[in-house]
């Protein structure tokens, strides 16, 4: 699979090595809004083709799939162009700024027979797959509660986080992980409460969100770009719990506690190796889906992307006092 990377910023630098390290994947090209940036990135990462025009890369016969690593608000347009050009797409999170746009992109990908995958690497991480296995095996009983958080004090120089035009704020950037975890474990959201701080320009600084789920479960999630929140989560079930060790998006460990009170719970720790920077399992999943002719991957299907975005939209409206 010959991949073209769109964008030459922070995340592209982090994922390029993992893309290349994934068996069956080749990094064939990079596209930037500026030829000089594309040339520099290609030289630094030994990529054969550098495009100063994204469209030229998308129309190129040298690329089969694209990885989109640009700011949130540009995702939909680039993903749509790529799908229309017949390319498979892995696009950074969040896939879109609205659930409607994400749903439309999913339909478009289905219609064109190409993969569309939001870059939710957490769902492909070995620890998360193991978590679902433990839950499916009934070890912790029925999952009822999730608590998760992720946040750090983002410096002002990291412009993307502070710019409303680029989808700035904590919720869509970091909250997306906690909300995805909650939906992954508890299913469909039927109630939302949110408190937090939003700047006058609409950028959300921090929030505490409570979700209620169709099956009666609940989640409490925190996110921030002004304070540090340990990147962790836990799941409470009717027979036990799973504590996801740091870091939430690619946990290195799990602590499973199972017991029947008043006896103390039996505790088991499991550790996980991270492949590369942690993105290899996701790219391997993309390759698996493409090989099978799937337009979405069952570990992170379009419906989950849409559900999480629907939840973030509602939380954002509540935070802005419009919900
Ligand atoms: N999965 C993860 O672990 C992870 C971590 C960090 C970020 N992300 C996601 O990756 C995305 C990019 O984040 P980042 O931190 O890499 O951002 P960034 O460094 O600010 O920007 C990425 C690149 O996108 C291009 N770009 C900038 N503005 C653009 C625009 N308006 N339209 C099109 N392209 C534009 C630029 O490349 P050119 O100048 O070459 O065009 C820029 O270098 C975000 O959606 C974020 O959520 C994911």
- Report the phi/psi class of residue 49: left, alpha or beta, with left for phi > 0 and alpha for psi in -120 to 50: beta
239-260 pLDDT, tens digit each: 999 999 999 999 999 999 998 8
Cβ neighbors of 180 (< 8 A, separation 6 or more) are 120, 122, 123, 304, 308
Q: Which residue has the CA at smallest separation from atom 36 of ligand 1?
A: 7
For the cut 80, the answer to whether the pLDDT of residue 215 exceeds it is yes
Average pLDDT, the chain: 97
Q: Among residues 59, 99, 52, 94, which one has the least CA distance to residue 74?
A: 94
Question: Given the CA of residue 38, which atom of ligand 1 is nearest to it?
Answer: 40
For the cut 80, the answer to whether the pLDDT of residue 20 exceeds it is yes
Burial (0-12, 13-18, 19+ Cβ within 10 Å), 220: middle
SS3 per residue for 173-198: HHHHHHHHHHHHHHCCEEEEEEEEEE
CA of 11 to the centre of ligand 1 (A): 6
For ligand 1, pick from 7, 17, 41 the residue to mutate: most ligand atoms within 8 Å of CB.
7
In this structure, of 100-109, 184-193, 256-265, the range with the lowest mean pLDDT score is: 256-265
Sign of CA dihedral 295, 299, 303, 305: negative
CA of 157 to the centre of ligand 1 (A): 14
Residue 276 CA, chain-centre distance (Å), reads 17
What share of the chain in percent tops pLDDT 70? 99
CA of 115 to the centre of ligand 1 (A): 21
For ligand 1, pick from 40, 67, 71, 97 the residue to mutate: most ligand atoms within 8 Å of CB.
71
For the cut 60, the answer to whether the pLDDT of residue 158 exceeds it is yes
| Ordered structural domains, the chain, with CATH | 2-121 (3.40.50.720), 122-280+306-319 (3.30.360.10)
For ligand 1, pick from 5, 8, 10, 281 the residue to mutate: most ligand atoms within 8 Å of CB.
10
Q: Contact at 8 Å (CB) between 204 and 162?
A: no
Q: How far apart are CA 319 and CA 313, in angstroms?
A: 10
110-139 pLDDT, tens digit each: 999 999 999 999 999 999 999 999 999 999
Residue identified by tokens 């608000």 is 73
Which contacts of 50-58 are long-range, i.e. CB under 8 A and separated by 24 or more positions?
51/4, 54/6, 54/78, 54/81, 55/81, 56/31, 57/4, 57/6, 57/29, 57/30, 57/31, 58/4, 58/31, 58/82, 58/85, 58/87
Question: Given the CA of residue 167, which atom of ligand 1 is nearest to it?
Answer: 45
């Amino acid at each position: 699979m010959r991949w073209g990377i769109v964008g030459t910023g922070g995340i592209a630098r982090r994922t390029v090595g993992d893309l290349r390290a994934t068996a069956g994947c080749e990094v064939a090209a990079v596209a930037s809004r500026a030829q000089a940036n594309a040339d520099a990135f290609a030289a630094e990462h030994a990529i054969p083709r550098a495009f100063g025009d994204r469209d030229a890369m998308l129309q190129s016969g040298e690329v089969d799939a694209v990885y989109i690593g640009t700011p949130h608000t540009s995702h939909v347009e680039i993903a749509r162009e790529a799908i229309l050009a017949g390319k498979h797409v892995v696009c950074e999170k969040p896939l879109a700024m609205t659930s409607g746009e994400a749903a439309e992109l999913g339909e478009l990908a289905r219609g064109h027979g190409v993969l569309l995958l939001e870059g939710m690497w957490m769902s492909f991480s070995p620890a998360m797959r193991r978590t679902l296995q433990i839950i499916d095996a009934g070890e912790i009983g029925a999952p009822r509660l999730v608590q998760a958080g992720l946040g750090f004090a983002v410096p002002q120089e990291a412009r993307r986080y502070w710019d409303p035009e680029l989808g700035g704020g904590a919720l869509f950037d970091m909250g997306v992980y906690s909300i995805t975890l909650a939906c992954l474990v508890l299913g469909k959201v039927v109630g939302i409460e949110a408190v937090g701080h939003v700047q006058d320009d609409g950028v959300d600084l921090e929030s505490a969100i409570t979700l209620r789920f169709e099956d009666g479960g609940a989640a409490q999630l925190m996110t921030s770009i002004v304070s540090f929140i340990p990147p962790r989560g836990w799941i409470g079930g009717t027979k036990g719990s799973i504590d996801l060790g740091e870091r939430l998006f690619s946990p290195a460990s799990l602590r499973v506690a199972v017991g029947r009170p008043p006896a103390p719970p039996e505790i088991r720790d499991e550790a996980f190796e991270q492949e590369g920077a942690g993105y290899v399992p996701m790219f391997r999943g993309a390759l698996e889906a493409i090989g099978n002719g799937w337009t979405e991957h069952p570990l992170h299907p379009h419906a989950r992307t849409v559900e999480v975005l629907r939840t973030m939209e509602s939380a954002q409206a509540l935070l802005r006092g419009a919900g």
